[in-house]
Amino acid sequence: MKIIYLHQYFNTPEMSGSTRSYEFAKHLTKIGHDVSVITTYRKPKNINNWFKTNYDGIKIYWLPLKYSNKMSYLNRLKSFAIFAWKSYFKAKKFEADIVYASSTPLSIVLPGVFVSRNKNIPLILEVRDLWPDIPIAMKIIKNPFLIFFFKLLESWAYKNSNSIITLSPEMRMGIILKKVDSRKIATIPNSSNLELFECDKKLALSFRNERAWLRNKPLLLYAGAFGKVNDLTYSVKLAKQLIDQKSNIRILLIGDGLEKEMLINEAKKLDVYERNLFIESPLPKKYMPICYSAADIIANFVIDIEENWANSANKFFDGLAAGKPIFLNHGGWMSNLVKKYHCGLCMHGKKIEIVAKELDLAISNEHWLSSSGIASKNLAKKLFDRDIHLKQLEKILILTKNNKNYMLEGVTHELYKNI
């Protein structure tokens, strides 16, 4: 079938960030579907108009449009609106059997719905975050009119989508609680790419030896955005406590974002910057397995607001694929998994002094590192193998195309329902 794939932040493996949409599009192309991705080129220089590339058989249409997670919220909203408007007129030119629109931002539903109506074809909406619940809970959106408008947009999005894919069981339940028919909602979490993240000891050793501050010391790795939702000041406080407890653990943060400068200043203030806490720029996805191979534990940090617990963090699944123990400072479904399968440390609700002590004890325990790492790998194979999710996606496309979207509930892996 011919598929229009709308995703404002589509990434190839040559770029940093999530490659979920690339993996989906690549697979659909491989099994014979005609996929046209409509996205943005976020670092335009002398390019002003749409341009097309072909990557692994995927036709990608790029709109030059500046965007970064360092931009103000108002400028981000402006970017969302421009892409929604221009992508609609681009997408309506293509022949298609189905529209697949991936949020965030939720504004992607605007071109999705209108293209769906224009061509009388079904729309699949992929929900990556419960938006606007998160910015409202974090008080990023405070204006009552804007809150009303965005909630209205959210309700309209669910109502006008033939099928909905969520990235976690908690997202699915969050949408059901908004009186959306559960039969048209399926859950496909982010995937564990077991082949890509296979641990390479030789590359890991090279990574460590290139960094005089690391060498043979234990390493806690965080690779992701430096935004308000991540609240990486937690890692700064943890670094300070580790020094106070005379631990030789090193913390490496790889990424970028709005809070990076503030984070560096805070680390300098507590005298941990480039002492036991280090920051490096984001890397293309294809290079990330080297970093994961070198790490002892993979961390996911989230601000202590319950609405964020439903997230489906790529770093979590990459850590599982790499066979590494997971460190979480939050509750929710991922925390439940770590506890159930004994594959890491769940620190939500614990004082930072206790967190530092437990982390130091765990990372110094070779038996624990090994057994937890094996448990992570087994969990990745059991629940989050990319091939499992690709087969789910195929079923959803076929059911939606054949007007059987009321059967989507059965596509969700039974094990996700029991987390």
Check residue 372 and give its pLDDT: 98
2-191+385-414 belongs to CATH 3.40.50.2000: yes
| Residue showing tokens 């939606």 | 400
The pLDDT confidence band at residue 140, using thresholds 50, 70 and 90, is confident
Is 337 within 8 Å of 391 (Cβ atoms)? no
**pLDDT 10s digits, 362-383:** 999 999 999 999 999 999 999 9
- The fraction of the chain above a pLDDT of 70, given in percent, is 98
**pLDDT 10s digits, 27-71:** 999 999 999 999 999 887 777 899 999 999 999 999 999 877 767
User: Within its chain, how far is the Cα of 227 from the centroid?
Assistant: 13
Q: Are both 2-191+385-414 and 201-383 of the same fold?
A: yes
The pLDDT confidence band at residue 332, using thresholds 50, 70 and 90, is very high
Task: Read off the pLDDT of each residue in 177-201 and give the average, rounded to a whole number.
Answer: 93
Given a cut of 70, whether residue 257 has pLDDT beyond it is yes
Most confident of the following: 11-20, 270-279, 306-315: 270-279
Check residue 141 and give its pLDDT: 87
- Among the ranges given (83-97, 127-141, 161-175, 231-245), the one the predictor scored with the smallest mean pLDDT: 127-141
Pairing of strands 219-225, 250-256: parallel
Q: φ, ψ for residue 212 (rounded to 5)? A: -60, -30
Crossing angle of helices 233-244/260-269, nearest 10°? 20
- The fraction of the chain above a pLDDT of 90, given in percent, is 84
Measured CA to CA, the distance from residue 342 to residue 374 in angstroms comes to 10
Check residue 34 and give its pLDDT: 96
Check residue 66 and give its pLDDT: 83
Q: Which residues pair with 223 in a beta bridge?
A: 254
User: What pTM was estimated for this model as a whole?
Assistant: 0.93
Check residue 411 and give its pLDDT: 81
Given a cut of 70, whether residue 419 has pLDDT beyond it is no
The pLDDT confidence band at residue 237, using thresholds 50, 70 and 90, is very high
**pLDDT 10s digits, 203-227:** 999 999 999 999 999 999 999 999 9
User: What is the enclosing helix (H) or strand (E) of 73?
Assistant: helix 73-91
Is 277 within 8 Å of 194 (Cβ atoms)? no
Q: How much is the mean pLDDT over the chain?
A: 93
Measured CA to CA, the distance from residue 302 to residue 110 in angstroms comes to 29
Length of the chain: 419
Q: 201-383 maps to which CATH number? A: 3.40.50.2000
Check residue 407 and give its pLDDT: 85
Residue spans of the domains in the chain: they are 2-191+385-414, 201-383
